[in-house]
Chain A
């Protein structure tokens, strides 16, 4: 898992690459929490290069979403690969998180 965190305009954009599972999600959570606390801004997770997400990864994304929303900012995901989208569908996450087809569409809403 690789994570690249940038800020474009006022949106914190994190691109996640590889697998987000029990082994890698704690690292992602630590990095994201640090960035979120520092920036205090809307957050977009770009999942275009995310190949797999386990329930441990879903847990981290949900925790981050709650944290960002509780500070009054928007939290969005975008560009889910088909296999990852299926996991979001099954878990019901598509109903509780804001998900856009791609980065441009997401930024247009943020």
Chain B
């Protein structure tokens, strides 16, 4: 192995040649000698070339097809399986001119094919072309990683705003998992006064940082109880107040759905209102065995869509054994792996009911794990939010 230009500049083209013939290396070296921005490395031994490549970090690989110790196509596959070279353009340099050999090279993962020995101008032009494409790919990957990191930071911020589970009555448990692109889910609960406990979950339309920002804004308004002239114990008033405050025309065309409920500990009553949100699930009765499921909705429209909308407050009694589940549509809008069809709200409701009635069930995350298995995918496409309130 011979080495030259071991410390190329950052934006240099780095060519690695693998060929058992020194004469080919000399020819390439001669061709590149007047190109100051091209660093050249030669390795005559295909057995050790992966180590050389991992050290040299080529931006383009030139390689022979016929070598004594290793078949050239096998080497192409090795490069593709190696992290540092899996996306580096490979130009096969061969004395064979048959179309079948060329096709096989491309099928193995090569990016280009040159018949030995091509004109100097052509070699340089192709090396520059492939190297430029690879450098652009690296830059794009880096930008994508930076963006993903920012999304992860935004998701961490959303998570930091979520309240800690409560152990007293009413007690709360929740499971929240932001999607890769970050959805617009958030939720919360707090005591309005000594008798009234508020709980809410919202989902901003679409994905991304914009949706998360609006979600956080709404959460802050609810947490700080700062809706002027609104009685926070009256769910329909709260939704009306939010609808007037967060008009979609003023918030980049975004609207959100929300389920907002208030539990009166003295009257043992839950009043609630929905702004376009999936119905909350209440499992309610004297004991688990005799409890019944009720879907809590009030037919309101999404918040911010239209001015002057009416929202209704509905009320229900809370029995001795009572569990409430509020969630976002990301929890059930999944594709069932085994059938390729969409899962349904009814399927989700049945799963939640079974969990609520199961005395041995302790971890709300079990529901998330079951749904993950149904879609046969660890990551959810939309935010997954599920809040359990036990009265």
Contact = CB atoms under 8 A, between A and B. Distances in A.
Interface stretch (A6-14, A40-48, A71-79, A91-99): A91-99
Interface stretch (B75-83, B95-103, B271-279): B271-279
Interface stretch (B40-48, B55-63, B297-305): B297-305
B206 A59 contact: yes
B86 to A, nearest CB: 26
Given A54-B333, A90-B277, A93-B301, A59 B205 contact: yes
Interface string B262-283: 0000000000000111110000
A51 B342 CA distance: 9
Interface residues of B, number: 30
Interface in B286-328: 297, 299-302, 305-306, 309
Contacts of A30: none
A55 interface: yes
A83 interface: yes
Contact of A86 (B275, B305, B345, B382): B345
B382 A62 contact: no
Contacts of B382: 54
A62 B279 contact: no
A62 B206 contact: no
Contact of B257 (A22, A86, A91, A96): A91
B181 interface: yes
B302 A91 contact: yes
A4 interface: no
Interface in B177-223: 181, 203-207
In this complex, the member of B276, B278, B342 whose beta carbon has the largest number of chain A beta carbons within 10 angstroms is B276
Contacts of B204: 55
A63 interface: yes
A92 B300 CA distance: 6
Given A55-B257, A62-B305, A22 B206 contact: yes
A36 interface: no
A92 B298 CA distance: 10
B391 interface: no
A58 B256 CA distance: 11
Interface in B337-391: 342, 344-345, 382
14 contacts: A22-B206, A54-B382, A55-B205, A56-B206, A59-B205, A86-B345, A90-B276, A91-B302, A92-B299, A92-B301, A92-B302, A92-B305, A95-B299, A96-B301
